[in-house]
Amino acid sequence: MNTLGAVPAKPTEDSPSQPSPFLEVRGLRKAFSGREVLHGIDLEVGPDELLVVLGPTGAGKTTLLRLLAGLDEADGGAIVMAGSDVTSMAPARRDVSLVFQNFSLYPGWTVRRNMEFPLRAPGRAMSEAAIAERIAWAARLLRIEPLLERPAQRLSGGQMQRVAIGRAIVRRPRLFLMDEPLTNLDAKLREALRVELVVLRRELRTPMVYVTHDQAEALSMADRIVVIDGGRVLQTGTPEAIYRHPASPTVARQLGQPAINLLRATLRDGNWCAADGTPLMTAGAVGNAAATPMGDVSGGAVIGVRPEDLSLTGGAHPGSVRLVEDLGPTRLAVIQWAGGEQRAVLDKSSTVAVGDQVLPSIAPDRAMLWAADA
């Protein structure tokens, strides 16, 4: 894995840290041909914060980012940056940098020329010496110094994306906007670059909005996550808060891989029972009770158990092992139990095999519970 070395001093002065958010989005709406795709988005980004916007395909993530960049105009609501309303401001005046999923470099140009491009924009009267210094600084940060004189078309995918990030940082913008910048890269490279991006952003102390559908990127990179779906914010919080206390089964399914086990349950004689009658756990305090009011559970409930929290011992009703996968540090078992397929992440040393009978059990303090109509 490549490592970022010591970070060179910034060529310009540090921006003073502010207690108030850098970016505030209030009730943002957008429709295309009469169909509304964003139904009033609210979010805030602190002056030194990485906010991940997580959602499935079609959730409205890219639309949101384009509104922030000024590439599309909002139909309602406000975008405020550093205290001033930029909702109708031209993209260039917002002083933000956008990095796309597709490496948008000029193929025939050298890396250096690609990176210099934003600094040579009309109205930016930078001296040649200052430009050279800025490029050298960014190249050092991203470890692409040996590539500077190479044409962009001769770069690998990972190198191209570094150059695209380099081009975004040379301007020293007020805000970074990233639209799935790692999606088109190999899994291995993605894993390395996500660490480097976080470290780089922390060194630059520039706020960032990072859009992705990849839950591992969201959990590992975010200071806070905004989960959106269908053009609405479903939940906002730290990765840990959302992972442990998801507001709804929908949010719970968006984080964690393998996905959380969700079981429909009804209360019988003080026990939560699955649809097929299997007792799941005793009624009482559950893991997410503090964060989520249980609501009216007379119509039944949905119980959520993360695969790492489903024990294969201690229960009274047997399940059978349908599939076991070796994932390296852990093993994944698919269990037919309580009327459906449940997933359990097991220790590497586990000897569970296909066809085994097991006795799954759910510890209430590791479980989540929502009213069925939630």
Partner 1 sequence: MSFLTLSHLEKTYPDGTKAVHALDLLVAEGEFIVLLGPSGCGKTTTLRMIAGLEIPTAGSISIAGADVTNLRPSERDVGFVFQFYALYPHLSVRDNIAFPLAATGMAKKDRTLAVDEVARRLGIERLLASFPRQLSGGDQQRVSLGRAMVRRPRLWLMDEPLGTLDADQRLAMREFIREQQRALGVTTIYVTHDQEEAMSLADRVVVMEGGRIRQAGAPAAVYDDPASLFVAEFVGSPGMNFIPGEIDADGAFHPRGAGGAARGSERRTADGGAITLGRHLRAGPATLGVRPEFVRPRATGAGIQGRVLMEEYLGSTRIVHLDCAFGRIAMRAGADRAAIAGETLSVGFDPEHARVFDHTSGERL
24 Cβ contact partners less than 8 Å away, ≥ 6 residues apart: 43, 44, 78, 79, 80
Q: Does residue number 296 form part of the binding site for partner 1 (CB under 8 A)?
A: no
- Determine which helix (DSSP H) or strand (DSSP E) holds 373, and give its type and residue range: none
Stretch in the footprint of partner 1 (CB under 8 A) among 103-111, 188-196, 226-234, 313-321: 188-196
Number of H helices, E strands in the chain: 9, 21
Binding mask 236-255 for partner 1 (x = CB under 8 A): ---xx--x---------x-x
What does 281-337 look like in DSSP terms, one character per residue? EESS--TTTTTS-----TT-EEEEE-GGGEESSS-SS-EEEEEEEE-SSEEEEEEEE
Considering only 173, 231, 256, 360, the residue that binds partner 1 (CB under 8 A) is: 256
Least separation in angstroms between CB 148 and partner 1: 23
Considering only 28, 164, 306, 368, the residue that binds partner 1 (CB under 8 A) is: 306
Q: Does residue number 372 form part of the binding site for partner 1 (CB under 8 A)?
A: no
Stretch in the footprint of partner 1 (CB under 8 A) among 114-122, 136-144, 286-294, 323-331: 323-331
Considering only 166, 173, 287, 307, the residue that binds partner 1 (CB under 8 A) is: 307
Least separation in angstroms between CB 229 and partner 1: 12
- State which of positions 121-140 bind partner 1 (CB under 8 A): none
Least separation in angstroms between CB 298 and partner 1: 27
Q: Does residue number 60 form part of the binding site for partner 1 (CB under 8 A)?
A: no
- Determine which helix (DSSP H) or strand (DSSP E) holds 119, and give its type and residue range: none
Binding mask 145-164 for partner 1 (x = CB under 8 A): -----------xx-------
Considering only 42, 72, 214, 356, the residue that binds partner 1 (CB under 8 A) is: 214
**N- to C-terminal Cα separation, the chain:** 44
179 Cβ contact partners less than 8 Å away, ≥ 6 residues apart: 61, 62, 65, 98, 99, 100, 101, 211
Binding mask 192-211 for partner 1 (x = CB under 8 A): --xx--xx--x---------
- Determine which helix (DSSP H) or strand (DSSP E) holds 13, and give its type and residue range: none
Considering only 13, 14, 269, 326, the residue that binds partner 1 (CB under 8 A) is: 326
Q: What is the DSSP code (8-state) at residue 145? A: G
Alpha carbon distance 336, 194 (integer Å): 36
Q: What is the DSSP code (8-state) at residue 157? A: H
Considering only 120, 124, 188, 205, the residue that binds partner 1 (CB under 8 A) is: 188
Q: Does residue number 270 form part of the binding site for partner 1 (CB under 8 A)?
A: no
Ordered alpha helix ranges (H), the chain:
61-69, 91-94, 111-116, 128-142, 157-170, 187-204, 215-221, 239-244, 249-254
In whole angstroms, what separates CA 235 from the centre of its chain? 13
Stretch in the footprint of partner 1 (CB under 8 A) among 32-40, 138-146, 180-188, 291-299: 180-188
Alpha carbon distance 316, 278 (integer Å): 9
Please give the C-alpha separations between residue 46 and each of 10, 54, 79, 111, 117, in angstroms, as whole numbers.
21, 18, 14, 32, 29
Considering only 40, 46, 56, 118, the residue that binds partner 1 (CB under 8 A) is: 56
**Which CB sits closer to partner 1, 70 or 256?**
256
Report the half-sphere exposure of 281 (CA within 13 A, side-chain side): 24
Considering only 159, 206, 215, 288, the residue that binds partner 1 (CB under 8 A) is: 215
**Which CB sits closer to partner 1, 95 or 308?**
308
- Site residues for partner 1 per CB under 8 A: 1, 3, 56-57, 156-157, 183, 186-189, 191, 194-195, 198-199, 202, 213-216, 219-221, 239-240, 243, 253, 255-259, 306-308, 322-323, 325-329, 332, 334, 345, 348
